[in-house]
Amino acid sequence: MALDATTRTESDSLGELEIPADAYWGIHTARALENFPISMRPISVYRDLIVALAMVKQASARANKEIGVLDAERADLIDRASQRVIDGEFHDQFVVGVVQGGAGTSTNMNANEVITNIALEMAGRGKGDYAFLSPIDHTNRSQSTNDVYPTAIKVGLGLDLRTLLEELDLLRRAFLAKATEFHDVLKVGRTQLQDAVPMTLGQEFHGFATTLGEDYHRLRENAHLLYEVNMGATAIGTGITTHPDYAPAVIRHLRDISGLDLELAADLVESTSDTGAFMSFSSSLKRNAIKLSKISNDLRLLSSGPQAGFGEINLPARQAGSSIMPGKVNPVIPEVVNQVAFAVAGADLTVTMAVEGGQLQLNAFEPIIAHSIFQSITWMRRGMRTLRVNCVDGITANRERLGTMVGSSVGVITALTPFIGYAAAAALAKTALLTGRNVGDLVVEAELMSREEVDKQLSPARLSGLQAHTRAIPVITSPDDESALSADAQAR
């Protein structure tokens, strides 16, 4: 009996506890709240993990009913209660911390208790009436934390990945749009932060889009490693306490419910103890995060200044950049994406160490694995969106500055080397560096090429490689060769 109307009494093998009367969770969750005040972040911060847990419970109820180990009335109540959680209800009742001991038992029991009490309420019974419907004997029938928890993590990540991939593709398309917008904007390419040869700003942004497209495919490939699950393994993979028909039935129902291409692991003992799939998936997230960080670095460099830096592009001004320097605006959006990448890289190391730390038939550290990967995928999705909406979509090119920089760049003369020779090109490059004059003007003044020939060879299409030279170009070694060059240039 409860001490007062605001609580109810529940018991387990360790004794009794008072539970808030309106709570859908029970005594096992209450003990976890006492034991693990670590992260101060409930598992409900990861919505798709909660949805996945409910999907596993729903699939199990349907499988148990199908094979005859759970009566239809109780199975249907669990099924309907699980659906309400899948639909977004009661997520605030999933209160255990994301970091916990016990290999995820507290999370599994939190789900069992919440779904059971929802079902009891739907049946017109009071919360905690476990004699009619038990969190363990009924909602957890044919299951163990050791197959429920890793399966729910994998299903949740599969669901979460869908929205990440959507954001990644939107960001890729945003860079492609800028590549089209800047297709004719010449600039100086750089290697090792030193001036190299010309390219277009469109080519640079197209490169960003291409690398993100590659990551899209790598993430999808690694996601399939998550779709091998161990439902039916129970404690260590031997399937103890389960009906032989349970495993194929629960996988079939879970595949239908989740829409994911799940399959039962061939070796349930191995699958229960091995967490390598999480490490591979985390690694692919890190790869994407680091490449996003590199792109963000480039955006910060290209927009640096605006007067004393590169100043090639303009990022949208999002906020005042200084409390002491008036007018200063900082590249805050790329900066936050950099920090997301740092966190993802750190989380990947955490996952690696947790995978290594598993012992014998179970890895006890799946809670930190789950937290690390779900946090990474959540932050990356949000980072991609703010990068797209608050930065990339509003980038503009500083066309006048870029034109001036290309015109005076000694890298431009590389395109004229086949026509004027290396020695003459080197001499004119030195003059251009000392005087800051336009390279094309110097070549014309030296009477090495005509203005028409220079303009043709220094066109955006030629300089950026979009219009390739299809045959050998003769090198001028003496004034006598100029007429031959002129005829050849006109032919092309």
- What DSSP string runs through 423-459? HHHHHHHHHHHHH---HHHHHHHTTSS-HHHHHHHTS
Alpha carbon 259 to chain centroid, angstroms: 21
Is 486 considered catalytic here? no
107-86-110 Cα angle (round to 5): 20
Please list the residues that pair with 228 across neighbouring strands: 263
- Residue pair 326/373 in contact (Cβ under 8 Å)? The answer is no
Q: Which two tokens stand for residue 238?
A: 């031997």
Residue 327 has what DSSP assignment? T
**Tens of each residue's pLDDT in the chain, 492 residues:** 445 589 999 998 999 999 999 999 999 999 999 989 999 999 999 999 999 999 999 999 999 999 999 999 999 999 999 999 999 999 999 999 999 998 999 999 999 999 999 999 999 999 999 999 999 999 999 999 999 999 999 999 999 999 999 999 999 999 999 999 999 898 888 889 887 778 889 999 999 999 999 999 999 988 888 999 999 999 999 999 999 999 999 999 999 999 999 999 999 999 899 999 999 999 999 999 999 999 999 999 999 988 888 999 999 988 877 778 877 888 899 999 999 999 999 999 999 999 999 999 889 999 999 999 999 999 999 999 999 999 999 999 999 998 888 776 777 778 888 889 899 888 888 888 888 888 888 889 998 999 988 888 877 667 766 655 534 444 444 344 444 434 444 444
> What's the pTM value of the predicted model, to 2 decimals?
0.86
Predicted pLDDT at 492: 43
- What DSSP string runs through 368-427? HHHHHHHHHHHHHHHHHHHHHHHTGGG-EE-HHHHHHHHHT-GGGGGGGHHHH-HHHHHH
Alpha carbon 237 to chain centroid, angstroms: 31
- Residue pair 476/447 in contact (Cβ under 8 Å)? The answer is no
**Nearest alpha-carbon partner for 339 in 307, 386, 304:** 386
Select which of 322, 376, 464, 478 is catalytic: 322
Query: The dihedral of CA 48, 50, 51, 52: what is its sign?
Result: positive
State how far the Cα of 231 lies from the Cα of 212, in Å rounded to an integer.
34
Alpha carbon 70 to chain centroid, angstroms: 40
State how far the Cα of 163 lies from the Cα of 159, in Å rounded to an integer.
8
Predicted pLDDT at 461: 66
Q: Which two tokens stand for residue 81?
A: 């209660």
Residue type, 365: F
